Structure 1
């Protein structure tokens, strides 16, 4: 793996971002040990003090643990963080993001099916509003991802399962992170467009509107599988 020399007044912040990106890419997995300060300084071609400052910042937000005499280790993403809005932002590695997709498959496919059975007019209005925002969004702002989250939360509401709604709301910040990454990769993929992404959400909505649980289930599963596949291809590319 090659590293470019970093040129910036805020060297430690850029080193921090580089290490975060290494974790996202899976170059170092949760539970694994980072290279030493000396090695990182050599790789990034920066001072050891800049590396130490970057590591201190990462430790402060819970991304790494520094064990005296043992080294620096990458923490596993603690999904219980979403239950406490006061806890700091955390990054999610590829492995953890794929695990979240497994949870989404279990929860949201079933939620779409329930929503098709139980939805009320106000639920459809929530979905329509989210779709309208999604359609108007460009690929350069965060309106699209916010609308994406709102759409999926509206489906949970339409399921009229209070526990489902609570869990989805608690996961909303984490979902927003994965949706941001998904949309970023999606937009940079030659075969994917915002229009296709919108259409997949529209198909889910129409199935729910038509009170067709089987169709809603298939539409949601197809959407989640496509997003996951696009993410994987983007990582590999």
Structure 2
């Protein structure tokens, strides 16, 4: 490989990252057509070959579709394939992230309320175990997204609602990705710590333990709102 090839590859990666950021910030919406290769090369002040390489990389991970004679279009994201260990992780746009949190507020606030009303000793124990795993992660300053997912799924299971449990399980891989991102942003924030994030989960657990449905609902809503604001702010930086 020549020096020129290495430099070209680095430039194309930078262009790819910049286009990803445009999609991530919502500047380019799903279904929208990107500017032409010529226009993008002028915009980024790079060669057309670097732009083509960047677009090919985006197509390889499913972010865009290139239609001969028509142009390059941003794909609508399929959440069912968000967490696939066999391929690079997809970037979620700001719009998709907001929509995901709308769904989470609808589902998980109600799940916490039902869990407080219907939880059994066994299901409460499962929520407690996940909470302890998060505590250990916060002490070690690890991201701890797997325990976070387990905690939220355990709450759904404590609701004793079969359909709700199925829906949460279907979302679990998506949640793992977004929880990793939110915890990473939270961890490197000067104003927030993983200990504070743990305390929010602890308040949810305590309300469920006391079978205080209104408080469980309130604690979950406050938690999801805080995480949403932290993550969206991080995406905008």
Q: Which residue of 2 aligns with 1:186?
A: 186
Q: Which deviations, in whole Å up to 9, do the C-alpha atoms of 1:77-100 show, x marking residues without a partner?
A: 123446999897432101110011
Secondary structure of the 1:32 match is: coil
1:119 and 2:119 correspond:
yes
Cα shift at 1:190: 2.7
Q: Is the 8 A contact 1:113 1:213 kept in 2?
A: yes
Give the direction of change, closer, same or farther, for the CA distance of 1:174–1:47 in structure 2 (3 Å limit): same
Note if contact 2:116-2:216 (Cα within 8 Å) is conserved in structure 1.
Answer: yes
Unpaired segments ≥5 residues, structure 2: 1-5
Partner of 1:100: 100
RMSD: 2.7
Name the SS of the counterpart of 1:137 in structure 2: helix
1:116·1:212 contact (CA, 8 Å) conserved in 2?
A: yes
How many pairs are equivalent?
231
Q: Does structure 2 retain, via aligned residues, the 8 Å contact 1:82–1:170?
A: no
1:90 and 2:116 equivalent?
no
3-state secondary structure, aligned to 2:28? coil
TM-score between the two structures when normalised by the length of structure 2: 0.85
Q: How does 1:8-87 map to 2 (within 5 A)?
A: 10-81=10-81
Residue 196 of structure 1 is matched in structure 2 by 196
Secondary structure of the equivalent of 1:171?
A: helix
Which range is displaced more, 58-67 or 191-200?
Answer: 58-67
Structure 1 residue 146: Cα displacement: 1.2
**CA distance in structure 1 between the partners assigned to 2:77 and 2:100 by the alignment:** 11
C-alpha separation in 1, matches of 2:95 and 2:89: 18
**TM-score, with structure 1 as normaliser:** 0.85
Q: Which moved more, 1:50-59 or 1:37-46?
A: 37-46
Q: Structure 1 pair 87/233, CA: closer, same or farther in 2 (3 Å)? A: closer
